[in-house]
Chains A and B, each alone.
Chain A
Amino acid sequence: MSNAIETRAVQRRMNKAFEIRDLALNVPSGSIYGFLGPNGSGKTTTIRLLLGLLRSSQGSIALLGRSVPADMPHILARTGFVPERPHLYAGLTIGEAVRYHSAFYSAWDAERAESLRRQFRLDPSQRVGRLSKGETGKLLVLLALAQNPDLLVLDEPTDGLDPVVRRDVLSALLDYVSQCGATVFISSHLVHELERFCDWVGVMDDGRLVAEMPMGTFKNGIKRLRVLDGPAVVDDAPFTLLAREPSDGVSAGEIWVVRDWQASMSQYFERVGASLREVVDLDLEEGFVELLRTFRSPNA
């Protein structure tokens, strides 16, 4: 499978305290890729590097098989971008903003723009500068989808929007993907939102990509176990032990957080004379928190 986004060994120092280091992203074509990370982990900086808004000091970046920044005009013609902060002229009306944008894209779909405008209940005569946060969010998504992109890059597209607007925006996005099969690269710190529809996840922390895998793998491999009489030292376990905590005081036994878990591994506990009482699936948010915690611990 080819990658819609591929970066190799990308570096960029932003200031003394923060840099993007050795970034190797692989976003498969046709995937919906969730780009997760806490605030300040480098998600927006990475997106700016991908779109040529910032130059990397080392490494290579390719979007849709073309290289950044050399082939930028080709790439931008086929890439829809929803930035974290709006980049629209406040004095234009919605109708004018749509017409203005349409002039830049040869694949512009005026019919889709109009149908989304109605679906989002945006008034074409209203000034962009006077729109609410929700209306601005919808307009940005409309503009990105109407250019008929093969790749959509969305930087926190629903941040700060109310649940109703969020739902409208995501429905429109998924409708477009079902219809056109575009690749979506979406950054968010709203983990639950991504859990519904992403099939790949990448996790950033402190300027580094600390994990990248299919969503199914990410969600399946991380479990919370309740263990009675666990061995003092765990050195030959078939899974990776991420954390080990004393009992929560409600039920007996230690809590182990593990990764790369498979059901057959319960035999391990019999072998070491312990007993496995419970295996709990962690959802994406819990898995994400545990992943960051182990990554940040000094002995990891």
Chain B
Amino acid sequence: MFSEVDPRSPTPLYDQIASRIRIAIAAGDLVPGRSLPSVRHLASRLRVNPATVVQAYRALAADGFVEMRQGSGTFVCEVGTGRKESERSAQARQLVRGLLSEAARRGLSAGDVAAAFRAELGSEVE
């Protein structure tokens, strides 16, 4: 989850970092009480501005996903099951929205995409 970010994406870098951490918390990959990497470490690793990492951590703190403790770091908070579910569905919908606009750009209708979805999911179930 602390892997590459895409500077060419229209989604701001801080948002990309925050989303990945949010989904990791929602999926239970990051457990409550665990500390996130330091700003210095993550900025250097992702080669982004330290202010971008701070902005991502602040956004997560504002949503109640993490807690920033002065001097000791940033820690994952306990997040309720309802919150986890809504975060997962929010991220899934965001993916689909991106897919639909890309499809529209290529001249495909929502119906085309839905049919493709059914075909792909069907083959996966079998």
Contacts and interface: CB of A to CB of B under 8 A. Distances in A.
Contacts of A174: 43-44, 47-50
A57 interface: no
A32 interface: yes
B49 to A, nearest CB: 4
Q: Secondary structure at chain B's binding surface: helix, strand, loop or mixed? A: helix
Interface in A164-179: 167, 170-172, 174-175, 177-179
Nearest to B44: A175
A199 interface: yes
What DSSP secondary structure best describes chain A's contact surface? helix
Given A178-B43, A251-B107, A195 B49 contact: no
Contact of A175 (B13, B43, B49, B107): B43
Contacts of B50: 174, 177-178
Interface stretch (A79-87, A90-98, A101-109, A276-284): A276-284
Given A196-B13, A197-B52, A171 B8 contact: no
Contacts of A192: 7-8
B83 interface: no
A149 B50 CA distance: 18
Given A196-B48, A251-B107, A284 B7 contact: yes
Contacts of B48: 174, 196-197
Interface in B1-25: 5, 7-8, 10, 12-13
A198 interface: yes
B7 A195 contact: yes
Given A178-B40, A283-B7, A283-B8, A171 B49 contact: no
Given A251-B107, A283-B8, A197 B47 contact: yes
Interface residues on A, range: 20 to 34
B49 A179 contact: no
Interface string B68-94: 000000000000000000000000000
A285 B7 CA distance: 11
Interface size class, chain B: 20 to 34
Nearest to A216: B12
B39 interface: yes
Contacts of A175: 40, 43-44
Interface in A155-193: 167, 170-172, 174-175, 177-179, 192
Interface string B49-62: 11110000000000
B43 A198 contact: no
B105 interface: yes
B40 A196 contact: no
Given A174-B49, A174-B50, A196 B44 contact: no
A283 B8 CA distance: 5
A64 B52 CA distance: 24
A196 B7 contact: yes
B104 to A, nearest CB: 8
A178 B45 contact: no
Nearest to B45: A171
A196 B47 CA distance: 7
Given A175-B40, A178-B39, A192-B7, A198 B49 contact: yes
Nearest to A32: B49
Contacts of B45: 171
B105 A251 contact: yes
Nearest to B42: A178
22 contacts: A167-B47, A170-B47, A174-B43, A174-B44, A175-B40, A175-B43, A177-B43, A177-B49, A178-B39, A178-B43, A178-B50, A195-B7, A196-B7, A196-B13, A196-B46, A196-B48, A197-B43, A197-B49, A197-B52, A199-B51, A283-B7, A284-B7
Interface of B: 5, 7-8, 10, 12-13, 39-40, 43-52, 104-105, 107
Interface of A: 32, 167, 170-172, 174-175, 177-179, 192, 195-199, 216, 251, 278, 281, 283-285
